Amino acid sequence: MQNSAYYLNKKNTKSNEIRICLNCDLLQNVSDLKPGFNARCRRCGCILVSKNSGALNKSLALTIASLILFFPAVCFPLLRVKLFGETKSASILNGASDLFNSGFFFIAALVFLFAFLIPFLKYLTLFYTLLSVYFRIKLPFVSRVFKIYCLIKSFAMEEVFLMAALTALTKLDSIADYEIESGFYFFSAFIIISVSAISVITDSEIWERLENL
C-alpha cells in the first residue's frame, strides 16, 4: 500500500512536487531541495524527501555492520542463569531449539520467525537493495527484493525481544543468580546499529534511486 502510494507522487510545477507522507498519508507540496537538506511532513515530522548525499553510504555501512553483528547476537549465549544449583546459558537459537524440544512448538516457531528469520531477511534484502543503488547496477529482481523488505520490516521484532529480555532480567533478579553473557552485548549493539541503518535513509529515497537505475 505504501509503495503504491509512493508512485502517486507527481510533478506539480517545475520546482514543486506533490508528495504523500508514507507515515500519515498527508499530501503536501514539496519544493526543490538543496543538497544536504531534508523535507519533513508538516503533520507527523517524517522525512518526505532527502537530499542527504551521505545517507546512502551511512545506511549501507550500518546495514553491513548489522549483518555482521547479527550472527554472534543470535548464536552466542545471552544469559547464564543459576537456578536450584543448575547453571544454564542459552542463545536465541538455542532457546528456540529448547522450546521446540520441550514441546512448545508454537512459541519456538514464533521466536525463530520473529527474532531470527525475519530480522535476518529484513537486513539481507535491505543490503541487497542498497548494494544495487550504491553501485548503480540493477541487480536481478532488486525491485521485488525491496518490496519484500518493505513488506516484512514491520514483522521483525528484534527490539521487542530485547525489551522482553530486559524485563525478564528484573524478574530473574529476585529468584535466581544470573550473569549477562556476550550475546546480550552483541544483540544490544545489533539493535542500535540496525535501527540506525534504517533511520538514516527513507524508503521513498531508495525507491527513487531504484527508479533511476
| Contacts with Zn ion, residue ranges (CB under 5 A) | 21, 23-24, 26, 41, 43-44, 46
Least distance in angstroms from the C-beta of 25 to Zn ion? 7
CA 30 → CA 26, 45, 138, 172, distances in Å?
12, 14, 28, 52
Least distance in angstroms from the C-beta of 24 to Zn ion? 3
Within 10 angstroms of residue 135's Cβ, the number of other Cβ atoms is 11
Q: Are 67 and 127 in contact (CB under 8 A)?
A: yes
In the numeric block, the cell 549483518 is attached to: 67
Q: Which is nearer to Zn ion, 44 or 160 (CB)?
A: 44
Least distance in angstroms from the C-beta of 65 to Zn ion? 29
Q: Which is nearer to Zn ion, 27 or 160 (CB)?
A: 27
Phi, psi of 112 (to 5 degrees): -60, -45
Least distance in angstroms from the C-beta of 85 to Zn ion? 56
CA angle 8, 12, 17 (to 5 degrees): 70
Q: Which is nearer to Zn ion, 22 or 108 (CB)?
A: 22
d(CA 67, CA 121): 10
Residues with Cβ within 8 Å of 138's Cβ and at least 6 positions away in sequence, in order, are 132, 213
Q: Which is nearer to Zn ion, 21 or 201 (CB)?
A: 21
Least distance in angstroms from the C-beta of 5 to Zn ion? 12
Q: Which is nearer to Zn ion, 53 or 154 (CB)?
A: 154
